[in-house]
Amino acid sequence: MSNKAFVALIAGVLLAIVGWNSFYIVAQTEKAVLLKFGRIVEADVPPGLHIKTPLVNSVRKFDGRLLTLDSPTQRLLTLEKKAVMVDAYAKWRVADTGLFYTATSGMKQIADDRLSQRLVAALSNQFGKRSLHDVVAGERDALMGDITESLNKMAKKELGIEVIDVRVKAIDLPKEVYASVFERMRSEREREAREHRAKGREQAEGVRADADRQKRVILAEAYRQAEEVRGDGDAKAASIYAKAFGQDAEFYSFYRSLKAYRESFSSKSDVLVLDPGNDFFRYLEKSKP
């Protein structure tokens, strides 16, 4: 190969390299800035094929998709000065490419670090305005909306980032207060149990007293009915006896005397002191031969 051919080959290679470096492509999922000796000359290069001056211009590309920032768990205070452990995350994307490059040099790690600091500040500010009940359940949606709004306003101004959403994944109590919280919960449950038992005993006494009252009423009513039945029976028996013995008064008197003798002399130890002429022995005297 002659010297001219070799030089021509070198020149062709150099020309190809220069031509290759004169073009660049920005994908649909990317954001890019065009630099001239390190200074921004085009802040938001649109997607597509573009031309640049080799060795003079350079291109920095960033991910233009929706990105996630996982914030480390933070210890925050509520309005009542109660400590809670908060685990949150934020969804963001590049909004102002030039400002983003200026503030972070186009590095996602730097952007995440700075956005994380501002997220913690926003969380602390909003949690400090609300009670524990509000941040856990009462105003959860409003809390997320306020944090997203305040963080987005700050991030757009300082970092060129648009914060789409902020969510709290978990809110826990610090480990050192678990024991006291559980003890308070146990005491509360025991108090409620005592109240329920007291109410149960009160109701049981009422039921027992009512049952005793009904028992006395039923027994009294049964006794009354029994006495009425017994009285009717005695009256009927007396009437029958009267009719039966009324047919022969002398026999009735004799029958009653025999019954009196049987009851009086039922025991050998019985002693009667009576006048022999007493009417009690009338039928005994008549039985003498």
Whether 178 is in a domain gets the answer: no
Q: Are 124 and 76 in contact (CB under 8 A)?
A: yes
- The rounded distance, in Å, linking the Cα atoms of 32 and 200 is 75
Whether 184 is in a domain gets the answer: no
Of the ranges 51-65, 167-181, 272-286, the best mean pLDDT one:
51-65
Question: Are 167 and 71 in a shared domain?
Answer: yes
Question: Are 83 and 135 in a shared domain?
Answer: yes
Higher-confidence residue: 223 or 256?
223
In angstroms, the Cα distances linking 168 to 47, 77, 122, 147 are: 35, 15, 12, 10
* Model confidence pLDDT, tens digit, residues 60-113: 888 889 999 988 888 888 888 888 888 889 999 998 888 898 888 888 889 899
pLDDT at position 7, please? Answer: 61
Whether 180 is in a domain gets the answer: no
Whether 81 is in a domain gets the answer: yes
pLDDT at position 288, please? Answer: 47
Q: Are 136 and 79 in contact (CB under 8 A)?
A: no
- The rounded distance, in Å, linking the Cα atoms of 220 and 110 is 94
Question: Are 198 and 274 in a shared domain?
Answer: no
Position 21 pLDDT exceeds 80: no
Range of the domain at 124: 67-173
Position 209 pLDDT exceeds 50: yes
Position 116 pLDDT exceeds 80: yes
Higher-confidence residue: 20 or 64?
64
Position 247 pLDDT exceeds 80: no
Question: Are 237 and 274 in a shared domain?
Answer: no
Query: Which of 127, 142, 173 delimits the end of a domain?
Result: 173
Question: Are 167 and 83 in a shared domain?
Answer: yes
Whether 139 is in a domain gets the answer: yes
Overall number of domains in the chain: 4
Position 16 pLDDT exceeds 60: no
* Model confidence pLDDT, tens digit, residues 248-264: 677 777 777 777 767 76
Question: Are 210 and 159 in a shared domain?
Answer: no
Position 190 pLDDT exceeds 50: yes
The separation between the first and the last C-alpha atoms of the chain, rounded to the nearest angstrom, is: 190
* Model confidence pLDDT, tens digit, residues 118-148: 888 888 888 888 887 777 776 777 888 888 8
The model's confidence at residue 2, banded by pLDDT at 50, 70 and 90, is low
pLDDT at position 20, please? Answer: 57
Question: Are 117 and 195 in a shared domain?
Answer: no
Query: Which of 30, 62, 94 delimits the end of a domain?
Result: 62
The whole-number average pLDDT for the span 235-257 is 75
